A and B are shown apart, each in its own frame.
Chain A
Amino acid sequence: MGVGIEVNNLNAWFGKAQVLSDIKMSVKPNQVTAIIGPSGCGKSTYVRCLNRMHETVADAKVSGDVTVGELNIYKNGTAAVDVRRRIGMVFQKPNPFPTMSIYDNVAAGLRLNGFRNRRELDDIVERSLRLAALWDEVKDVFKKKSGASLSGGQQQRLCIARALAVQPEVLLMDEPASALDPISTGKIEELMFQLKDQFTVVIVTHNMQQAARVADWTGFFLMGKLIEFDKTQKIFTTPADKRTEDYVTGRFG
């Protein structure tokens, strides 16, 4: 099941440059939350702070509180790898492991963390591929064919299946469809409706129509600040802030 995320006083830096200031947000469980905003506003950095991927970049710093379910992910003694197992991530460019078969790609997260039960692994791989709506397309070849041999859209759904196989509570998606054609994009968006039954989904997008289509909640970021966070319908019809209105009506950004 999905869990909620409470973000308080979140600040992030690259070296001396502050890219996020004082973010406060309450992400609801089992809902799709979209993060929108112009390029460079900090929206990718924001989601990377939610599963401690931000700190993998040299010189990156972060402060503040992020609580996922009951887990304070920045508390001393919380291991980054444990956080990332509970909060899966899908990246902008599909990035399947090139030397692995489709099956091995999906199994990688569990296997490389020491999971060895073959039968259960088979089940999880099939379930994850079904959840990611890829099963029907690959079921005959998924043990032999390399993940890199799939089309871009299929690769991205493979990456989603790979993230789901670890059975996370939250799925972060960083512009998951921006490198895909409209049909593949449609499939990914459709997927999000189904995924929110089991997971909390946070998606970064600079496609406002996409946010309007898939998200229950939308947060608008500008220059490292969260300007407005509300129900998607409210953001797109009667935003409280002038800057949000300017952005969603296409007057800038």
Chain B
Amino acid sequence: MLNRRNRIPQQVSFSRRATNWVATAAAASAALLVLAPLFAIFGYLVYKGIGSINLEFLTHTPRPVGEAGGGMANAIVGSGLILGIASLIGIPLGMGAGVYLAEYGKDRYSDAVRFTADVLNGVPSIVIGIAVYALIVLRQGHFSAFSGGVALGIMMIPTVARTTEEMLLMVPNNIREAALGLGIPQWRSTISIALRSAASGIITGIMLAFARVAGETAPLLFTAFGNQFWSLNPNQPTAALPLQIFTYAISPFDEWHRQAWAGALVLIVLIVVSVAAVRLAARRGSVRHTA
């Protein structure tokens, strides 16, 4: 940590060098402390879960109680389906609201939108689940991946909206002026200039929202519900990794406990991989700032 960059010339007094050393050490250990829980969780997941992960786990549906083997393939795919629906709802609505707040809304209505988004961000996820249960599941008469996706999508909106707004506000105004001065219409400048300049920050916000809802269990309990069999129909009850982990973890069976650990590990890895993949793709699409 105390590398050459921090070295101070000899003539500087001992007390100042000591202060520098202490401050640097304090900052470094704070950084370590922040990282420690993450690595502890991940390490423990690998330790408990890696043994149960095999091809069957990733490609088969659960076996009945008492039978060994089986896997969570339907839950992995189900999670993908639900998150896909959630993204289709949460990303456009969230980005639309963020664009409105940053580029157009300078009135009381936008203050109301901003406040509502902040409140929505604070609503417990289980409350959102119940609301969607009442509004969609009860009306349709059945659980479904669709209703699960709606619940998670609603949870994504405030995070996406506020990060989009904040990232757009960081784009300097003279860039917008340049676009207007070229006779580019405002809607076009918003999409091709402002959003593009803010893209990397907005993508980070979207992936943050995505990663957060990917692990949500509570809102899925009475929307997607879970399923022990394959279902790719968004109108049917659908398995999801967090639900499957929840069901297995509170069961009395050792085999299911092991599979719950494995499911948790798969969930984390999938989230990390999808976030990393999106970021890589986004980086490839932008120009470099140096030669």
Binding site for B on A (CB under 8 A): 51, 53, 56, 58, 81-86, 88-89, 91, 93, 95-101, 104, 108-109, 112-113, 141, 144-146, 148-149, 159, 162-163, 166
- Which of B183, B287, B290 is in CB contact (< 8 Å) with A81? B183
State in angstroms the CA–CA spacing of A98 and B179 once bound together. Answer: 12
Which of B182, B286, B291 lies at the interface centre, i.e. has the most chain A CB atoms within 10 A of its CB?
Answer: B182
Q: Smallest CB–CB gap between A140 and chain B, Å?
A: 10
Assembly CA distance A53 to B177 (angstroms) = 8
Q: Does B64 contact A (CB under 8 A)?
A: no
Q: Is the CB of B287 within 8 A of A89?
A: no
Q: Which residue in chain A gives the minimum CB-CB distance to B191?
A: A112
The listed residue with most B CB atoms (<10 A of its CB), out of A101, A109, A163, is: A109
Q: Enumerate chain B residues within 8 angstroms of A95, measured Cβ to Cβ.
A: 172, 174-175, 177-178
A169 to chain B, nearest CB (A): 12
Q: Which residue of chain B is the closest to A51 with respect to CB atoms?
A: B181
Instruction: Verify B181–A97 contact, CB threshold 8 A.
Output: no
- Confirm or deny: B227 has a beta carbon within 8 angstroms of a beta carbon on chain A: no
Asked whether, in the complex, the Cβ of B174 is within 8 Å of the Cβ of A91, the reply is yes
Closest chain B residue to A172, Cβ basis: B181
Q: Is the CB of A91 within 8 A of B175?
A: no
Chain A's closest residue to B184 (CB) is A112
State A81–B289 Cα separation when bound (angstroms).
30
Q: A95-B177, A99-B197 known; A88 and B287 CB under 8 Å?
A: no
Chain A residue with the shortest CB-CB distance to B195: A99
Q: Are B183 and A56 in contact (CB under 8 A)?
A: no
Query: Which residues of chain A come closer than 8 Å to B16, judged between CB atoms?
Result: none
Inter-chain contact A56/B180, CB cutoff 8 Å? yes
- Residues from chain B with Cβ under 8 Å of A159 in the complex: 178
Q: Which residues of chain B from 177 to 210 have a CB within 8 Å of any chain A CB?
A: 177-185, 188-189, 192-193, 196-197, 199
- Which 8 A/B pairs are nearest by Cβ-Cβ distance? A85-B183, A109-B182, A84-B183, A89-B181, A95-B174, A95-B178, A112-B184, A146-B287
The reply to whether A149 and B183 form a contact with Cβ atoms under 8 Å apart is no
What are 8 A-B contacts defined by CB distance under 8 Å? A84-B182, A95-B175, A101-B287, A108-B182, A113-B183, A145-B287, A149-B291, A159-B178
Q: Are B178 and A84 in contact, CB atoms less than 8 angstroms apart? A: no
B287 touches A99 (CB 8 A): yes
Please report which residues of chain B, range 256-290, place their CB below 8 angstroms from some CB of chain A when the two chains form the complex: 286-290
CA–CA, A81 and B182, complex, Å: 8
Q: Are B182 and A88 in contact (CB under 8 A)?
A: yes
Question: Cβ of B180 and Cβ of A112 under 8 Å apart?
Answer: no
Please give, as numbers and ranges, the residues of chain A lying within 8 Å of B291 by CB-CB distance: 141, 144-145, 149
B172 vs chain A, min Cβ distance (A): 8
On whether the beta carbons of B181 and A91 are closer than 8 Å, the reply is yes
* Among candidates A100, A101, A163, residue contacting B182 with C-beta atoms closer than 8 Å: A163
User: Are A149 and B174 in contact (CB-based, < 8 A)?
Assistant: no
A14 to chain B, nearest CB (A): 16
Q: Is B7 an interface residue (CB 8 A)?
A: no
Check: B139 CB closer than 8 A to any chain A CB. Answer: no
Contact residues in B for A98 (Cβ distance below 8 Å): 175, 197, 289
- B103-119 interface bits toward A, Cβ cutoff 8 Å, 1 = contact, 0 = none: 00010000000000000
Q: Which residues of A are found within 8 Å of B188, using beta-carbon distances?
A: 112-113
**Do residues A162 and B182 form an inter-chain contact, with CB atoms below 8 A?**
yes
Q: In the complex, are the beta carbons of B183 and A91 less than 8 A apart?
A: no
Q: In the assembled complex, how far is the CB of residue B35 from the closest CB belonging to chain A, in whole angstroms? A: 31
Determine the distance from Cα of A104 to Cα of B183 in the docked complex, in whole angstroms: 16
Bound-state Cα–Cα, A146 to B286, Å? 9
Which residues from chain B contact A56 at a C-beta distance below 8 Å? 177, 180
What B residues does A97 contact at CB under 8 A? 175, 178-179, 193, 196-197
Chain A residues with CB under 8 A of B289 = 98, 146, 148-149
Most interface-central of B172, B184, B288 (chain A CB within 10 A): B184
Contacts A97-B175, A100-B287, A146-B287 known; A113 to B181 CB distance under 8 Å? no
Residue in A81, A104, A108 whose beta carbon sits within 8 Å of that of B185 in the complex: A81
Closest approach, in angstroms, between the C-beta of B183 and any C-beta of chain A? 3
Give the distance to chain B from A164, nearest Cβ to Cβ, in Å.
Answer: 11
Q: Within the assembled complex, what's the spacing in Å between the Cα atoms of A141 and B291?
A: 8
Most B-side CB within 10 Å, residue of A95, A141, A162? A95
Which of A58, A88, A104 meets B181, CB within 8 Å? A88
Asked if A82 contacts B183 (CB within 8 A), the reply is yes
Question: Nearest CB to that of A90 among chain B residues?
Answer: B181
Min C-beta distance of A94 to chain B, whole Å? 9
Instruction: Please give, as numbers and ranges, the residues of chain B lying within 8 Å of A149 by CB-CB distance.
Output: 288-291
